[in-house]
Amino acid sequence: MTTPTFGDPLSAPFWEAARRHELFLQKCSNCGVARVIPRPFCVSCNADTVGWVRASGLATIYSMTTVHRSMSPSFAAPYINAIVDLDEGARLLTNIVDGAGCRIGDRVRLIWHARDPAPPLPMFTPITGKH
Amino acid sequence: MGQGRSLEKSVYVTGVAESPLGKVADHSELSMMAVAAREALAESGLTLSDVDGLFVRYRSTEPFIEHSVELGEYLGLQPRYADTTDIGGCSFEAYIHHAMLAVAAGRCDVALIAYASRQRSQRSRTMLDAPDDYTITGQFEAPYGMLSPIGQYALMAARHMHVYGTKPEQFAEVAVAARRWAQLNPKAWEKDPLTIDEVLRSEPISEPLRRLDCCLLTDGGGAAVITTKERARNAAKLPIRILGAGESHTQWHVAEMRDLTAGPGAVSACEAFGMAGIRPDDVDFLEPYDNFTSAVIVHLEDLGFCKKGEGGAFVEGGTLGPDGALPSMTSGGGLSYCHPGMLGLLLLVEAVRQLRGEAGPRQVKGARIGVVHGIGGKAFGSAATAVLARE
Contacts of B323 (CB under 8 A, 6+ apart): none
pLDDT by position in tens, chain A (length 131): 455 578 999 999 999 999 999 999 999 999 999 999 999 999 999 999 999 999 999 999 999 999 999 877 778 999 999 999 999 999 999 999 999 999 999 999 999 999 999 999 999 999 986 44
Question: If pLDDT is split at 50, 70 and 90, which confidence band does B123 have?
Answer: confident
Which H helix or E strand runs over B41? helix B29-43
Establish if A47 belongs to a structural domain. yes
CA of residue B286 relative to chain centroid, distance: 11
**Does residue A90 lie within any of the structural domains?**
yes
Shortest CA distance from A74: residue in chain B: B145
Establish if A104 touches chain B: CB-CB under 8 angstroms: yes
Residues B366-379: pLDDT tens digits? Answer: 999 999 999 998 88
Q: What ipTM describes this predicted complex? A: 0.95
Cα of B160 to nearest chain A Cα, Å: 9
Q: Please, are residues A115 and A87 in contact by the beta-carbon 8 Å criterion?
A: no
pLDDT digits (tens, 9 = 90+) for B131-176: 788 999 999 999 999 999 999 999 999 999 999 999 999 999 999 9
Distance from CA of A130 to the nearest CA of B (A): 27
| Total structural domains within chain A | 1
Q: Are strands B204-206 and B12-18 parallel, antiparallel or unpaired?
A: unpaired
* pLDDT, tens only, B304-342: 999 999 999 999 999 999 999 999 999 999 999 999 999
Determine if residue A47 is left, alpha or beta; phi over 0 gives left, psi from -120 to 50 gives alpha, anything else beta: beta
Query: What is the domain partition of chain B in residue ranges?
Result: 12-124+219-242, 146-211+244-389
Fold of the domain built from segment(s) B146-211+244-389: Peroxisomal Thiolase; Chain A, domain 1 (3.40.47)
Q: How many CA atoms lie within 13 A of B221 on its CB side?
A: 29
Residue of A nearest to B208 (CA): A65
Per the DSSP assignment, residues forming a β-bridge with B292 are B214
CA neighbor of A86 nearest in space, from A20, A130, A26: A26
**CB nearest A68 (choices: B143, B204, B254):** B204
Chain B contact for A100, CB < 8 A? Answer: no
> What pTM was estimated for this model as a whole?
0.96
Q: Cβ of B376: how many Cβ atoms within 10 Å?
A: 29
Is the pLDDT assigned to residue B387 strictly greater than 60?
yes
Could you give the 3-state DSSP secondary structure of residue A66? strand
Do the domains B146-211+244-389 and B12-124+219-242 match in fold?
Answer: yes
Higher pLDDT, B129 or B15: B15
Domain assignment of residue A37, yes or no:
yes
Give the pairing of strands B53-56 and A79-86: unpaired
CATH architecture of B12-124+219-242: 3-Layer(aba) Sandwich (3.40)
Domain membership flag for residue A3: no
Containing structural domain, residue A92: 12-126
Does the residue A32 lie in any domain? yes
A83 touches chain B (CB under 8 A): yes
Q: Does residue B260 register a pLDDT over 60?
A: yes
- pLDDT for the residue A129: 60
Please indicate, yes or no, if residue A69 is contained in any of the structural domains. Answer: yes
DSSP class of A9: T
- State the catalytic residues of B: 289, 337
Whether pLDDT at B3 is above 50? no
- Is residue A96 domain-resident? yes
Asked if residue B213 has pLDDT above 50, the reply is yes
Inter-chain CB proximity A63 and B144 less than 8 Å: no
Contact by Cβ (8 Å): B235, B15: yes
Which of A33, A43, A67, A123 should we substitute to test contact with B (largest number of B Cβ atoms within 10 Å)? Answer: A67
